[in-house]
Amino acid sequence: MRYAVLVLAIALAVANTQARADLVTYTMTGTIQSSQNLGLSAGDRISWQLQYNNSLPMNANGSSGMNYYSPTPVITNLIDRTNGGFPFFMSSSVYSTLSLNNASATLYPNSFVAGAESTTIPGYPEGILSYGLVLNNIGSLPTMNLANLQLNTLPLNLSASSFNYSFAEDLGPLDQQSFVASVDSISSPVYGAPEPGSLTLFLLGVAGFAARGMRRRLGQPA
């Protein structure tokens, strides 16, 4: 029984290592530069999370760039830190793109870009949501491989970096909510924990083997 439990523990550790290697989350802070219809003022502080799977497949966007397409939103937990609350509309239907660009790339050279645009928003048939994070690096990025890039260690030019947000229920200008913010800080990466289902299966397996061993000790059929 002890050997079986050991095997299960090793299997869970391997699965946990894989999960930690794939999911990465950064917490970022910024300062509002300008805003429309959101009750924000220049100087207000915000925070958000950038979260993505760093094993996403690579797609070349030229000789010095790479795109990664995420099936889930990469910007989450957007919070107004100055006034409190969540005045921002965030949709789970957004399909996001991450881009790594170096000097010869045509748009945002030497940068990490994360953004999305969605026109298929549940409950908003004419709604349009878009956001974009641009982190401008000083010099070329050290790698085009997302899994090997740690954002908080890059020599970023934060004065040339920004976060833009826009949501509109229709094409009328009075219905648009938007802001432009600076990027002030980037946390160290936090890697994902194992899914609850994995831990549950492990515990059930251990319980099953323990029950089987107990029956054998009591002389009952397994």
pLDDT at 221: 55
Q: Which residue has the higher pLDDT, 11 or 86?
A: 86
Percent of the chain with pLDDT over 70: 74
Per-residue pLDDT, 65: 92
CA distance 133 to 116: 9
pTM here is 0.75
Binned at pLDDT 50, 70 and 90, residue 77 comes out as very high
The per-residue pLDDT for 86 is 86
Instruction: Tell which wins on pLDDT, 82 or 117.
Output: 82
d(C-alpha 169, C-alpha 176), whole Å: 7
Helix axes 2-22, 196-217, angle to 10 degrees: 180
Tens of pLDDT, residues 19-36: 445 899 999 999 999 999
Residues 25 and 76: beta-carbon distance below 8 Å:
no
Q: pLDDT at residue 8 above 70?
A: no
Tell how far CA 126 is from the center of its chain. 26
